[in-house]
Amino acid sequence: MVLTTSYLGHVISSVLVHDADDEILKCQCSLDLVQRYNGLLELATEKIHVFPFSNVKPCWFRLYTDASIVKAVRILEEYRNCGRPALLAEAVAVLDMALITAGGMGREQLIQEMLTEFQTHMDADRDEADYPAKRRRVAAGWTRSRNELLLPQEAVSIPKISRPVPVIQAPSLEEFQTHLHDRRGPIILSGALNHWPALRKWQSVSFWEDVTLAGSRLVPVELGRSYVDSGWGQQIMPFRRFLADHILDHSQGDSRTGYLAQYDIFKQIPALYADIATPDYCYLDAPPPEAGTPVALTKAAKKTQQLSHPSTLPQPMGQSANQTSSSSEVQSNIWFGPAWTISPLHHDPYHNILCQVVGKKYLRLFSPHYSSKLQPMSSTVSAPHLTEASGDVTIDMSNTSSIDIAAMEVSPHEDWDSTYPNISKVTYVECVLEAGQALYIPIGWWHYNPAEAQSINFCLTGNSQTESSKKQSGRETGLGL
C-alpha cells in the first residue's frame, strides 16, 4: 500500500516545520496543528471570507493550507483502518479546497506529492467497482465500453462566415512576429497544435475520470449561460458531477448550464501539461495596446487592474485568471463546457492565443477602435454574487459590452440599430475555430464566443512589455501569451 504510516508521518513532520519568515507565524494564535487542526481550519475559513479577498492577509491562506493538510492526513489514517473509498475522496476534497481557496500557499509541492500518491494507490487498487455506472450517468443509447466513450459532439447551428479571420498555416516565428507588429489583427494559426496528445486524449471520458482521481477532484463550475445573466454563479463540485450533469447528460441534476470557465486547471492538475506544448509564438516580443484604446488608456492612468472575468473564488488561486502580471510568464486557463455556453462580448488587458482542443467554437471580433460604439458596461457594477462573502462590492465591468450578440444572432432580421445605435455599421471579423487550430487575439480586441458543440479550449495569456520592464524583470520575452 502506497499510503503507509511512515509516509503520512513524513507529511505531518513537513507541515510542522516553519521558517522564521513564514507568513503563518503572523496569525497570532496557537499553531498546535496536530491537536487543533479543525478549529484552526474554521478560524482561517472565517478570516478568508469575512474580508474582500484582496484584503485577506497571507497568514490566513497559509493557516488554511497547513490545517487542511493535517486534516487530510487524519482522514487517510481512518481510511487505512477501514478502507472505505469515500474517505479517500474526502481527503482529496480537503486538499483540493486548500488549492482552490488558498492556492496551497507554501505547500504546493507537498500537496501535489500527496495527490500523486493517491493516484498511484488508486491505479494499483482500481477495479470496476470504482466506476459504478450510476456515477457516470451515461446518456441513453450509448453502448460503448468505458475506454471507447467519447465526449458528445452534437453541435448547435453554426453561423455562416461572411467576414473570415485570416488563416495562416503553421507560420514561422519570423512570420508571426511580423504579423504581431505590422498587421496587429486576429489570425488563425492552423496546424500549430497537430502534435499535441491532448487532441486525441481529451476527447475520452475515461481520460478525464482517470486524471481527476475517478472524478473526485473538485473544480469551480460556473452555473448559468453567461456571467452577465441574472442568476449566474459558481459552485465547487466533484469533477464527476460536472461531467455527468453538465457534459454527458443534461436531463439530470442542475438545469442550468455548467461551465468550467477561465480556470487554471493546469496548476491544480499538473499532469495535464504532458498533453500540450506551449507554442514558441508565446515567447515573442509583443506590442503594447494601440494608442487611444481602452486598455492603453487604463494602463496610462495606472488604474487598478480590472477583472477579465468575474469570479467568486477566493484569491490567490483565482488571481492568475483575473489579473495580469508584469512578467512574461505564460498563463493557461481552461474553458470546458457544453454547446451554447457563452463568453459575452468583452476585451482582455493582455494578448491571447486561444487553443481549441475538442469541439469547435464560433468567435466574432471587433477592433478596440470601435470601443465607444460597443456600449461598455460601467466600471462600478454591483456584484451581488460577491456580496455574501465580502460585503457590498462593485467590480469594474468596463471590459464587457452591454450588447447582447446572442440575441442578435437568434433574431438577425430585427432592427437592432434601434436598440444599439449604428451597431450594423460596426465591422467585425469572425471564424469557427476547429480542434487543432489556435486563434491569436491581440490585446484589447473585443471578442464574443459561444461554443457550437461540447468544447474544450484554453487561453495562453500574458502582457506586452516595454524595454524597461523587460530589463527590470530580467527576461527577454514579451508576449507571454
Phi, psi of 354, deg, nearest 5:
-90, 115
CATH number at residue 239: 2.60.120.650
Whether 171 and 316 map to the same domain: the answer is yes
CA-to-CA distance for 333 and 23, rounded, in angstroms? Answer: 28
Average of per-residue pLDDT across 51-63: 91
Residues contacting residue 280 through CB under 8 Å, at least 6 positions apart: 173
Contact indicator for 398, 376 with CB cutoff of 8 Å = yes
State whether 56 and 189 are in the same domain. no
Cell representation of residue 336: 470546458
pLDDT tens per residue, range 267-287: 999 999 999 999 999 989 889
**Beta strand pairing status for 394-395 and 381-382?**
antiparallel
Residues 337 and 459 both lie in one domain: yes
Asked if residue 160 is part of any domain, the answer here is no
Report the candidate in 401, 422, 427, 424 with the shortest Cα–Cα distance to residue 412. 424
In the numeric block, which cell numbers belong to residue 181? 507588429
192 and 288, same domain (yes or no): yes
* 82 & 209 share domain: no
Which residue range(s) make up the domain with 399?
167-473
Q: For the segment 308-350, what is each residue's pLDDT rounded down to a tens digit?
A: 566 656 555 544 333 444 445 788 999 999 887 888 999 999 9
Query: For residue range 136-171, what is the model confidence (pLDDT) as tens digits?
Result: 444 433 344 555 688 887 667 788 899 999 999 999
- Based on the fold, state whether residues 199 and 90 are members of the same structural domain: no
Q: Distance of CA 247 to CAs 210, 263, 292, 325, Å?
A: 16, 17, 42, 33
pLDDT(174) > 80 = yes
Total domain count, the chain: 2
Claim to verify: residue 121 and residue 198 sit in the same structural domain: no
Could you tell me if 198 and 58 lie in one domain? Answer: no
385 shares a domain with 257: yes
**Residue 202, class by beta-carbon neighbours within 10 Å (0-12 exposed, 13-18 middle, 19+ buried)?**
buried
**Is residue 188 domain-shared with residue 254, that is, in the same domain?**
yes
- In this predicted structure, the answer to whether residue 384 has a pLDDT above a threshold of 70 is no
Report the distance separating Cα 247 and Cα 454, nearest Å: 7
Dump pLDDT digits (tens) for 72-99.
999 999 999 998 999 999 999 999 999 9
Coarse DSSP helix, strand, coil percentages of the chain, rounded to the nearest 5 percent: 40, 20, 40
Domain boundary among 93, 110, 125: 125
* Grid coordinates given for 431: 471564424
Q: Could you tell me if 368 and 442 lie in one domain?
A: yes
- Domain end position, chosen among 125, 143, 178: 125
* Integer Cα distance of 233 and 414 in angstroms: 31
Domain contains 423: yes
Q: How far is the C-alpha of 236 from the C-alpha of 138, rounded, in Å?
A: 22
Give the Cα separation of 89 and 118 in Å (integer). Answer: 10
Whether residue 443 sits in one domain with residue 337 = yes
Residue 478 within a domain = no
Closest CA to 450 of 406, 416, 415: 406
Q: How many Å apart are CA 386 and CA 430, to the nearest integer? A: 34
Q: Give the CA radius of gyration of the chain.
A: 23
Order of strands across the sheet that contains 351-358: 167-169, 187-190, 438-441, 351-358, 455-462, 331-337, 258-263, 218-223, 233-238
End-to-end, the C-alpha distance of the chain in Å comes to: 42
Q: Measured between alpha carbons, how far is residue 338 from residues 151, 230, 448, 454 in Å?
A: 10, 19, 16, 4
Q: Are strands 351-358 and 455-462 parallel, antiparallel or unpaired?
A: antiparallel
CB neighbours (10 Å) of residue 399?
23
Q: What is the pLDDT of residue 469?
A: 35
Q: Is the pTM of this model over 0.75?
A: yes
